[in-house]
Amino acid sequence: MENLNLSEKDLTVSRLGDTRIDSPLGLSTHYGDLIANYIEENASVTLLQDRDEIIRCVKNKKFLAAFVQAGPRKKIFFDPKHTTAAIVTCGGLSPGINNVIRASVMELYYRYGVKAIWGIQYGFRGFNPTHGLEPKKLTPEIVKGIHELGGSFLGSSRGPQDIGEIVDRLEQMKVDMLFAIGGDGTLHGAEAIHREVMKRNLKIAIVGVPKTIDNDIAYVEKTFGLETAFSVAAEAIRSAHTEAIGAPNGIGIVKVMGRYSGFIAANAALALNEVNFVLVPEVPFDLEGPKGLFPHLKKRLQDKGHAVIIIAEGAGQELLQSDVMQRDKSGNLKLKDVGLFLKQAIAAYFKSIQMDVNLKYIDPSYLVRAVAANAHDAIYCVQLAQNAVHAGMAGFTGVVVGRWNNQFTLVPLKLAISERKFLNPEDPLWLTVIEATGQPFKMINE
Amino acid sequence: MENLNLSEKDLTVSRLGDTRIDSPLGLSTHYGDLIANYIEENASVTLLQDRDEIIRCVKNKKFLAAFVQAGPRKKIFFDPKHTTAAIVTCGGLSPGINNVIRASVMELYYRYGVKAIWGIQYGFRGFNPTHGLEPKKLTPEIVKGIHELGGSFLGSSRGPQDIGEIVDRLEQMKVDMLFAIGGDGTLHGAEAIHREVMKRNLKIAIVGVPKTIDNDIAYVEKTFGLETAFSVAAEAIRSAHTEAIGAPNGIGIVKVMGRYSGFIAANAALALNEVNFVLVPEVPFDLEGPKGLFPHLKKRLQDKGHAVIIIAEGAGQELLQSDVMQRDKSGNLKLKDVGLFLKQAIAAYFKSIQMDVNLKYIDPSYLVRAVAANAHDAIYCVQLAQNAVHAGMAGFTGVVVGRWNNQFTLVPLKLAISERKFLNPEDPLWLTVIEATGQPFKMINE
Amino acid sequence: MENLNLSEKDLTVSRLGDTRIDSPLGLSTHYGDLIANYIEENASVTLLQDRDEIIRCVKNKKFLAAFVQAGPRKKIFFDPKHTTAAIVTCGGLSPGINNVIRASVMELYYRYGVKAIWGIQYGFRGFNPTHGLEPKKLTPEIVKGIHELGGSFLGSSRGPQDIGEIVDRLEQMKVDMLFAIGGDGTLHGAEAIHREVMKRNLKIAIVGVPKTIDNDIAYVEKTFGLETAFSVAAEAIRSAHTEAIGAPNGIGIVKVMGRYSGFIAANAALALNEVNFVLVPEVPFDLEGPKGLFPHLKKRLQDKGHAVIIIAEGAGQELLQSDVMQRDKSGNLKLKDVGLFLKQAIAAYFKSIQMDVNLKYIDPSYLVRAVAANAHDAIYCVQLAQNAVHAGMAGFTGVVVGRWNNQFTLVPLKLAISERKFLNPEDPLWLTVIEATGQPFKMINE
Amino acid sequence: MENLNLSEKDLTVSRLGDTRIDSPLGLSTHYGDLIANYIEENASVTLLQDRDEIIRCVKNKKFLAAFVQAGPRKKIFFDPKHTTAAIVTCGGLSPGINNVIRASVMELYYRYGVKAIWGIQYGFRGFNPTHGLEPKKLTPEIVKGIHELGGSFLGSSRGPQDIGEIVDRLEQMKVDMLFAIGGDGTLHGAEAIHREVMKRNLKIAIVGVPKTIDNDIAYVEKTFGLETAFSVAAEAIRSAHTEAIGAPNGIGIVKVMGRYSGFIAANAALALNEVNFVLVPEVPFDLEGPKGLFPHLKKRLQDKGHAVIIIAEGAGQELLQSDVMQRDKSGNLKLKDVGLFLKQAIAAYFKSIQMDVNLKYIDPSYLVRAVAANAHDAIYCVQLAQNAVHAGMAGFTGVVVGRWNNQFTLVPLKLAISERKFLNPEDPLWLTVIEATGQPFKMINE
């Protein structure tokens, strides 16, 4: 669980060196002139929000944890005319990758005047010369239309690459700053690259942009793509509900992404408020027994004649492992797919109690992540990209651009990968889900 | 295959009796007054379109096959003030059911003045008193907003019911005309009801409205819901393509509905023209062998680095049955689901030739049919509903409202259920698919 | 009004000369082999559909009017290896232009093997060297993504250019076939180019693809873009209805395109069936007087508390001209914009009768035409483009690719521009509108 | 401008009395049991975020301003069984009103057990018996589908009503808590009602839910509907851009709502990043002169051949007043509509410098506010509604449910209406706009 009482060391961000160059952005340094100001060097975003806790902390002379605020600095580290940037996108697709690429290129090119920008193809793999993937030269002309497209204009890939080789290639390409757009694995990679760069005493800024549709990066309020993802997932809920009410004892099941976290499921359930049971990895549940899902589901059908369930792909993994089905040697796929498992288990349950139900299963799978960013994510991506460029130009390194309490922050890569973020069942979001669905807090036979 | 040289008997539609009542619609009987005319009793829509064929037919004194044209008649059979109508929706959901219900109610109520309209719940099952499903009284107030919703406002169900009991109930409810909205099974049911009604010498008009997302009703150009379905399926193709180009050797597979016919698959492939292989039930194909899908797919990846495949659920069933997988006792599900089968078979093939691919599978399932009708289908549903009401009021019975060459027609139920409609691989639609995708006409090792 | 008893001469299409080259498409010439056949040279699509009319015509030995059927010919005129094609788009934007461009390029390049394809920039203006608009070389790589975009990838422009100069330029560029995508004005231009080409005895095929969002090309069942347009317009109706019911005596007015024809308005009203009055250019109406719009509107408000009106931009022009407002010297804009005029006139009317109303006016203007083609139009555009290419390759010239009774046809340009197509108030479409809205056939004080 | 150093008095929220009743929600009071906790009575959300500022404030013993945190209380004021609630919606439509109504009813009915819930029709007007608008009884059954609809299920209206009469009616209806969903005017009304209720010493909780598409409620981070609004506005930008690039020297202008604030314009411009000039009420600009919009626009056309402008309806009002057009007596409308004014002024400018441009103007007007809430707003509305109900049940009164730093808060009505919120041109949002568009900070000739 994220710790809001971090130490100063946890929150300190690395810097490549002194910043001696005047920013070309032409911003202001005082209020009242209708021109935005450069961010002051010590501007910060406090983690705690409760007054009493804050006051207690200050009075007790404990460190009041705060992120460094992101944004444009008056003095920057790199001379735009002689700066080379590179952008790489890794891991699964997420709506908004192209928006980040485009806005980074635009900001570098037009605002800072950095004209040498390389797009690395197919993730970290593109650094590996054995794959023969030449970097693409990125210009405004080339990227101008890509924000309307889902996916990654640069291609993506999964899996680690040799860190030494990557840094070799960065040196060879004379890259001064690398923007790594990706999730947990990518940020781990970026952190390793950062360490290797430091070890070699190179002046290469490594800046991460957090991309995971599951929203599970710690100390980052929200990753881009999540909003688009649950918007699309909500449409699947609408269809599941329509099917459920369209047949006697109709049950609609929607499976969505969320390997370790239930953010997509929880948000989608609120976005289309026709869900009766939300099953997420963070909240264990039983199927059978007096407090399990099945009797609740049965009661719901008896009362209302239909029901809708949304399940995150990572939910109920403990059920899968202990299940009878495990004895089925060939059933590899079924065992891993909790959605299909749930569908079959529900069918078996109602068959066993001789109650006719109409079960409809929807797995929108890649539909939720391969679409173009919606308006909300599109804006967020522009903001992330601009702040990533500001960070890189100012010589920040080993950081990921984050967001906290609606402010953009710089989070040390090391901190961001120190744990995963989970949906806390005691946080307001899950309470809202409980109240909106009417499902019990616990469906566990204790 | 639909026969365009039908006999007069094939095309004759039944009538309940003489039409002695003046239509309350207030239309005209001559051109030039800016008021639409009643349809003349012998107005027809010729099946043949080629001039030479038509002339040959006429000169040889063969019957020139033509449907009875649908539309409002000057003289009607039922007295609106004393008429009771019933509407029933059966089978799987299809976008537009509610549009048909609403427009039927509006037309009956406001245009003809029929105020007694019953909605039968959950399909033919709703006629069976043992289920305790009371008919809903339908009024403009109740149905006014339902056209914006997917699904069926009345609920639907599958499976046959006792025909005698249904007609008993129609008699008991004093129903004068029954509108049965459904697909092949429903129209078979409607035809049986019609025969029983005739046998009992009742004056109940049985009018079908063809609903099947698969578009497989014979002698009916297009069923409602198809357009919406392939529009939604096209979005799945966009995502499959985005995923395919987003990873090295990416392959996107989309499975869509189409148990016996490939209309959704073919249209979706044209609607989002990023598909390389369209697999439909009407066109057999091999996977392996020099002319099979696999070598073509391999070549596509080698040439372009990505590929998109769309497969109708009914395609390649012959492969499933003869497949190795059949030997896998527990693999019941896999064997029946051609999409999962194809996904696994492709993965196995590329593994066998040691070629790394990134396979992404999308099965939008109910997403394509549970949505609300799009604009095109919404219009079509209003037209079908109005013509169904015109037909019923005029005493036509044992008919389904059809469409041929863009005209609305009355097709004898018997004819409509005499065969299924298939996508003819030699028709222009499939040629367009072949040319747009570049796939070979035949992927068969002969 | 379109004449369905055209003469043989009206329907004859020009040909550049003998077709001696084998088509590279590899189609079949007989049924039953699962491969589409080439279109036979005399294949046709009869205009009449009514059996009695057809038989009467044949028996009386009158010419049975029929269009030449479009589609691939076994023998073609141009040798693909030595053929140069050009594509030009003119007039206002319409959803689907890019789909036609892309599919034409794909068909020429991949199916026929024509590699020299030029895109003329900004309409006929692009032929005029004084504007310095160089033609773009079109390849599959360049056009591959444009079908997802609204607008015209080539740019468009309005207004005539010197025909002699255009043909000079075609000669100079060695263009063998010109595809002109446009509406009435464009097709007039294409016809003039065709005549000049014939006069100079050149072998250049001139093939039109009918594009007008207003759907007013004669002898062409439907132009591309219309479906998308009324789909978007339907969303404006939804908003107008929402506003109307959201306030006491709410009136929502939507103005849509349709300079001379009401197809968008009529279809949109059916697509979102919440409209009470549809005002189109083809049906004159009065505002005041006992039978005018105003008393009907007042009654509607009294009965239901809200009303929705959709008006085509070309409707009620006679009212504008005779109106009081004409006396207002500076009111140039208002007089021409029937939507604003109607809004003000309605406001004035209800003020005069001291009835409080809440008037909301929506003019979606370019929103309905600048969007990308929807699925329906996307398919239609692929079909039009392929048939245009088939026509050009086979040496047809002076033709526009049309559609009649759901078949693709070749319509002589001369015929297509001989008149405008209008929405016939006595046709089924308008009857459906009348019945769906409940508005009277006539709102004229006679 | 919002003051982040508010006094304790500014932030104190009223309470109807002691809370003696146990909440029926069944939440927890300690962490670790996977059950959400009741909000502690002194939980708060600090306004300041910068660590240094916070520490300075605490060390200087100044009041550290913080909002009361919203959420469920362990002890509540009203006994659900004997509680009557009323809901009223006022002012212009905004996406999400129905979501708030529905979620309030669901929360009251199912979670707290309040069964007596009235919906007041057509805003405060519905309290005035002379209009004969009977309150609607609200139940889950009645509101269950309304979240999918735009507009207000209860109807809305503008304008003040007699406060005394409203409170009379509340007393007469025995209303215990009133939820007033509305913007600035509504919250002024709610505050007046609250004062009158206090004066009469009644125990009626008055809880506001901030609704304004313009997002201009002070001390509330975001009002619902804004996200949906700029999402729709972004689509208008896409069309404007498509039109602009589709014609030589194309200029697309989009006018959006925003009477006093530019939030919709600024966000839409970022959401569809094809805008070159964003004109908002908060940033004055000149049209003419060396630093005005016109020369910048001209340069943009010379450089790129097209331009897109978005203007908020409240922008540039100073230009309208001083304009030549004011001399045009009859031109009332034009003078007030800055969009049409800008369109005409741009046309006149380019005519004066003899440069041909293609100007396309889009005013989506009610399209941006009459649509249903998108997923983001739908979630937000559920959260606002639940927190409003929690507040009312706990006896808070004279408050509006707010949001600050992503936490839900209770803001005294008096504070919320003490000023309007504006888009601060020196805040990060506007900086992002400046950087994304490339427009100068100032287009003023000083």
Distance from CA of C314 to the nearest CA of B (A): 18
| Helix H or strand E encompassing B411 | strand B407-412
Best mutation target, C148, C153, C371, to test chain A (most A CBs within 10 A): C148
Judged by a CB distance cut-off of 8 A, whether residue A372 touches chain D is no
Q: Which chains touch D (3 or more CB pairs under 8 A)?
A: A, B, C
Contacts of A38 (CB under 8 A, 6+ apart): A23, A25, A27, A28, A29, A71, A72, A73, A74
Cα distances (Å, whole numbers) of residue D39 to C231, D23, D387: 48, 12, 11
pLDDT of residue A321: 67
Residue in C214, C216, C286, C377 annotated catalytic: C214
Distance from CA of B123 to the nearest CA of A (A): 9
- The residues of D annotated as belonging to the active site are 214
Beta strands in C125-176 (DSSP E): 136-137
Whether A329 and A316 map to the same domain: the answer is yes
Whether C274 and C210 map to the same domain: the answer is no
Check B64 against C51: CB less than 8 A apart.
yes
Quote the number of domains for chain C. 2
* Residue in chain B nearest D149 by alpha carbon: B148
pLDDT at residue A166 greater than cutoff 50: yes
Q: Is residue B442 part of a domain?
A: no
Whether A187 and A38 map to the same domain: the answer is yes
Check D248 against C155: CB less than 8 A apart.
yes
Whether B242 and B255 map to the same domain: the answer is yes
Instruction: Determine the length of chain B.
Output: 446
* Residue in chain C nearest A150 by alpha carbon: C148
Region at A365 (left for phi over 0; alpha for psi -120 to 50; beta for the rest): left
- The residues of B annotated as belonging to the active site are 214
Distance from CA of D370 to the nearest CA of B (A): 15
CB < 8 Å to C371, chain D? 235, 238-239, 242
Judged by a CB distance cut-off of 8 A, whether residue A267 touches chain D is yes
Best mutation target, C432, C434, C443, to test chain B (most B CBs within 10 A): C432
Best mutation target, D148, D153, D371, to test chain B (most B CBs within 10 A): D148
**3-state secondary structure at position A217:** strand
Q: Is residue A445 part of a domain?
A: no
pLDDT of residue B416: 97
CB D281 within 8 A of CB D314: yes
* Residue in chain A nearest B359 by alpha carbon: A366
pLDDT at residue A330 greater than cutoff 50: no
CB < 8 Å to A238, chain B? 150, 370-371
- Of residues A282, A276, A267, the one with CA closest to residue A234: A267
CB < 8 Å to B146, chain D? none
pLDDT of residue B255: 97
pLDDT at residue C331 greater than cutoff 50: no
Q: Is residue B410 part of a domain?
A: no
Best mutation target, C2, C3, C5, C34, to test chain B (most B CBs within 10 A): C34
* Residue in chain D nearest C245 by alpha carbon: D155
pLDDT of residue C159: 82
Terminal-to-terminal C-alpha distance of chain A: 24
How high is the mean pLDDT of chain A? 94
Confidence of residue A320 (pLDDT cuts 50, 70, 90): confident
Judged by a CB distance cut-off of 8 A, whether residue C325 touches chain D is no
Q: Which residues pair with B21 in a beta bridge?
A: B76
Q: Is residue B415 part of a domain?
A: no
Confidence of residue D324 (pLDDT cuts 50, 70, 90): very low
Q: Which of C149, C243, C334 sits opposite D93 (nearest CB)?
A: C243
Contacts of D264 (CB under 8 A, 6+ apart): D213, D214, D215, D226, D229, D230, D233, D256, D257, D258, D312, D368
Whether A165 and A49 map to the same domain: the answer is yes
Judged by a CB distance cut-off of 8 A, whether residue B134 touches chain D is no
Query: Domain with C114 in it: what CATH number?
Result: 3.40.50.450
More confident residue, B5 or C43: C43
Poorest-pLDDT segment among A315-319, C82-86, D257-261:
A315-319
pLDDT at residue C206 greater than cutoff 90: yes
The predicted-structure confidence for D78-103, as pLDDT tens digits, reads as follows 999 999 999 999 999 999 999 999 99
Judged by a CB distance cut-off of 8 A, whether residue B339 touches chain A is no
Distance from CA of A184 to the nearest CA of C (A): 32
Q: Which of A34, A37, A148 sits opposite D283 (nearest CB)?
A: A34
Query: Domain with D362 in it: what CATH number?
Result: 3.40.50.460
Task: Enumerate residues 34 to 63 of chain A having a beta carbon within 8 A of any beta carbon in chain D.
Answer: 34-37, 42-46, 48-52, 54-55, 58-59
Whether C167 and C195 map to the same domain: the answer is yes
Check C247 against D122: CB less than 8 A apart.
yes
List chain B residues with pLDDT less than 50. Answer: 323-335
Whether C235 and C364 map to the same domain: the answer is yes
Judged by a CB distance cut-off of 8 A, whether residue A144 touches chain C is no
Distance from CA of C402 to the nearest CA of D (A): 25
Judged by a CB distance cut-off of 8 A, whether residue C144 touches chain A is no
The predicted-structure confidence for A49-100, as pLDDT tens digits, reads as follows 999 999 999 999 999 999 999 999 999 999 999 999 999 999 999 999 999 9
d(C-alpha D223, C-alpha D381), whole Å: 9
Whether D134 and D260 map to the same domain: the answer is no
Region at A411 (left for phi over 0; alpha for psi -120 to 50; beta for the rest): beta
Q: Which of B93, B149, B248 sits opposite A155 (nearest CB)?
A: B248
Cα distances (Å, whole numbers) of residue A141 to A106, A145, C12: 10, 8, 48
The predicted-structure confidence for D133-180, as pLDDT tens digits, reads as follows 999 999 999 999 999 999 999 999 988 899 999 999 999 999 999 999
Across the A:D interface, residue pairs with CB atoms under 8 Å apart total: 195
Check A247 against B155: CB less than 8 A apart.
yes
Q: What residues make up the domain containing D317? A: 226-368+426-437
Q: Is residue C317 part of a domain?
A: yes
pLDDT of residue C328: 39
pLDDT of residue A325: 44
Torsion from C-alpha of D418, D422, D428, D434, nearest 10 degrees: -170
The predicted-structure confidence for A248-301, as pLDDT tens digits, reads as follows 999 999 999 999 999 999 999 999 999 999 999 999 999 999 999 999 999 999
Beta strands in A2-150 (DSSP E): 14-15, 21-22, 44-46, 66-69, 75-76, 84-89, 116-119, 136-137
Q: Is residue C119 part of a domain?
A: yes
* Residue in chain D nearest C364 by alpha carbon: D364
Whether C364 and C377 map to the same domain: the answer is no
Check A147 against D230: CB less than 8 A apart.
no
The predicted-structure confidence for A334-359, as pLDDT tens digits, reads as follows 346 899 999 999 999 999 999 999 99
pLDDT of residue A153: 97
Q: Is residue C444 part of a domain?
A: no
What ipTM goes with this model? 0.95
CB B421 within 8 A of CB B427: no
pLDDT at residue C322 greater than cutoff 70: no
pLDDT of residue C319: 83
The predicted-structure confidence for D32-55, as pLDDT tens digits, reads as follows 999 999 999 899 999 999 999 999
Check B360 against A371: CB less than 8 A apart.
no
Judged by a CB distance cut-off of 8 A, whether residue B1 touches chain C is no
Q: Is residue A443 part of a domain?
A: no
pLDDT of residue B333: 38
Instruction: Quote the pTM value.
Output: 0.96
pLDDT of residue C321: 67
How many other C-beta atoms are found inside a 10 Å radius of the C-beta of residue A32?
7
Whether D132 and D31 map to the same domain: the answer is yes
The predicted-structure confidence for C142-173, as pLDDT tens digits, reads as follows 999 999 999 999 999 988 899 999 999 999 99
CB < 8 Å to D327, chain C? none
Whether B289 and B271 map to the same domain: the answer is yes
Judged by a CB distance cut-off of 8 A, whether residue C330 touches chain D is yes
* Residue in chain D nearest A406 by alpha carbon: D405
Q: Which of D238, D247, D329 sits opposite C156 (nearest CB)?
A: D247
CB < 8 Å to A375, chain D? 227, 230-231, 234, 267-268, 271-272
Whether C321 and C391 map to the same domain: the answer is no
Distance from CA of B271 to the nearest CA of C (A): 5
Distance from CA of B402 to the nearest CA of A (A): 25
d(C-alpha D61, C-alpha D58), whole Å: 5
The predicted-structure confidence for B140-167, as pLDDT tens digits, reads as follows 999 999 999 999 999 999 888 999 999 9
Judged by a CB distance cut-off of 8 A, whether residue A148 touches chain C is yes
Judged by a CB distance cut-off of 8 A, whether residue B152 touches chain A is yes
How high is the mean pLDDT of chain D? 94
Judged by a CB distance cut-off of 8 A, whether residue C148 touches chain A is yes
Confidence of residue A124 (pLDDT cuts 50, 70, 90): very high
CB < 8 Å to D432, chain A? 382-383, 386
Q: What secondary structure letter does DSSP report for C325? A: G
Mean pLDDT of D23-29: 97
